[in-house]
Structure 1
Amino acid sequence: MACVTAATTAVATLAFLVPLGWELRTNHRDGAMAEAERRSAAVAGAVAAGAGRKGVDAAVKAAGGGVVLHAPGTTQNSRVPAEDLVAAGRGTAPTEIEVDGGVVRLQPVTVGGKTSVVEAFVSDTELAEGTARDWWILLGIMLGLIIGAVIVVDRLARGAVASVRNLVHAAMAVGGGDLGVRIHPSGPRELAEAGYAFNRMADRLVTSRTSERELVADLSHRLRTPLTVLRLDAEALDPDDTHIGEFSAAELDRRRGIRRIRQAIVTLEGEVDQLINTTRAAVAAQVADAPEEGLSDAAEVVRDRMVFWSALAGDQNRQYRVVGAQLRIPVPVARAELAAALDAVLGNVFRYTPQGTAFEVSLSRRDGWVALRIDDAGPGIDDPEKAMQRGQSEQGSTGLGLDIARRAAQAAGGSVSLARAAMGGASVVMLLADAEAPPKQASRFGLVGRLARERDPGKRKRPLQRTDDA
């Protein structure tokens, strides 16, 4: 880059300095010819004034060397050919003729009908006096500009090259799988913007990768609901022991089928657990960039999912109750997400509480919030804070059920809390924003309220007045 800069600067300076040097040379030449004109004019003035021979010789001597006066009709001692001298005497304007070693200036002077010619010689040395010095000065200026440009460009290019090198190394690191690499944007504005764009891209990659793994885990966790039903139904079947007692061939086939069903369910549960725990398998289908948006009726979701869970509760002799799901209660969360969150919590109830344990699902709305509460009469959870962390569980599971509920609640602007239920077991409360709640009024207290009252004098707080009854 330094070589390119030097060549570019040299071409630019040459394009500027060469015409300037030529103009300076012309100025020097014009100055030398002006001095010759002055000397010729001094001699011509003496001749025109009718000075005698001594006066003219004195004028020629005063004019200096190189000035010769040719009397009318004479051509001796001239540096130019005779015909040029005769031609100059016939004219009225001065004439400049190039000769070896310089330039001759011929100026005619007519007195009394006779024309004399004043010849002034200017040597090449006089014409070029000062030109070499000017060229050396211009050459020094050009070299200074080139050196300065190289230094400045090198300093600027060093920072740009360092920024590009850092960007390349970071891109190669990200391509190699290290998504934690970030760069400090520096250099020119375009490279700095590229650095900021790279950091944003890396952040998006990390977020996408995390979301992808969580999506795999969450989708796998949703499989727990039908697997739980299958496992419970399989446990309700007859024994599968074929070693004790004597059985007919049909009974042996039936018991072996039951055993295969139970083994298949256990194997399938193990595979799902492995998929949840590792979350390293690739997602089979592309996930939409934006999450599903819209409103859903929380009461309708509760009624719909309880149709499914009530059948399983009846098989396990679980007493249950649904409260507050009669009226429409819209919440700003997708129906599929809310149903998945409810299934995840109820699945934990059926999986980790003994058969026959009662539970309750209730809906309530107050002060712009909707509370979806799932209580059970089981043993409860010893460490609620740990249970609310993603991937944490005291039962040996993946611990994603409550996290699915938490994410659905946060998508609706709410939260999830875990406490001891009045029934004695765990109480999971999903707090969701009420989609039909009126917007909250701005507080009249604080700086905003004071500014509003100051703008409206009629609403200013009046001072209290003491009365006799006080």
Structure 2
Amino acid sequence: MREDHRDKAISAAEQRSAKVAGAIVSGANKKALDATVAAAGEGLLVHPPGNTGNTRAGADDVLDAAKGTEPVVVDVTGGLVLLEPARAGSASASADKTSVVEVFVSDEALSEGTSRDWWILLGIMLGLVIGSVIVVDRLARGAVASVRNLVHAAMAVGGGDLGVRIQPSGPRELAEAGYAFNRMADRLVTSRTSERELVADLSHRLRTPLTVLRLDAEALDPDDTHIGEFSAAELDRRRGIRRIRQAIVTLEGEVDQLINTTRQAVAAQVAAPEEGVCDASEVVRDRMVFWSALAGDQDRQYRVVGAHLRIPVPVARAELAAALDAVLGNVFRYTPQGTAFEVGITRRDGWVAVRVDDAGPGIDDPEKALRRGESEMGSTGLGLDIARRAAQATGGSVSLDRAAMGGASVVMLLADAEASPKQASRFGLVGRLARERDPVKRKWPHQRTDES
């Protein structure tokens, strides 16, 4: 565009000089020539033949132009000079009869309009940038919305809501990711349905041997220990019969509840998240009704602390009961008969602690005991893991410590359903109960022996 403006300025100068050169060639007198020069505008001079004075170009340039037939452009300070020869008379006239028309074109005239062109270019560039931003924003908005929907859906599935689906949109890759996500969620729903059906089927299979066991238990002798006088051996036998019958009834109830729960879950919306709130104190009281009978048969002293107030926790009642039963079952299984125990529940700083202490020998390796599937007692090693999973479902944990009674202290730390969970402090009750977040490093003291 700059060169175009320069060419236009030079062309305008050539037109001006051509008018004057035409007057010279046609043999116009001095008066007519002066009028033509004045009409051509400022910056125009006529050099008579052999005269090189008052020129912006060099004298040699003027003489060289007089010898030629075409206009000559010479760059000078502040612009350029156009020198056009004009021969009066015939075209074959000698150079000493050739006049030279000089036209000066300033730099301003050469660059006239360039600033305007720059502003036009800047405006076009700015418009292109703004347009590009708008177009890219519109395109990116769809992609960002697709990614955001995918992230929210993934977080919902991670939280247990398998009913979430997304509408695939956006670029091809994101749309494919959306379809893959939906297929994954469908597979998870199918897997959960199959698992629940399997649990229900297996539970149903247990009914047959349980029925036979119940009939055999009913055929046993009476278990009444209040009427009549019996020897110590007879009392133990009748108490054993009573425990067998109570255990069978409890087991039948658990199997029925398991079958009903799984069937209802499959029949309803399988993908619904498993959420619930129960009263931890009520669960403790209810389970202790069952375990108190066995504790009485084994001459175990026990105490329940803090279970008189309502304390809601965000865990299903059946899961909390199963976790508590797992911990209490370990007490009855791995401590000698007659060993005392205590069940306590406390509420503090947004957490609920369910504690089971015993006066037994304790646990040699707490860290190993908390690992799933590991046990030194010949069991499956899943008891404490059941309690740990129930606690972690609420954001809490399970810890092992030395009880004040001398044995093991198992504490389940659960979130308080009526308070916002807080970061567990390392000091006080909450910090002691959150020990699982830091690996259990200290070992139990050496156990006392009978000889010591």
- Length-normalised TM-score, structure 2: 0.45
- Length-normalised TM-score, structure 1: 0.44
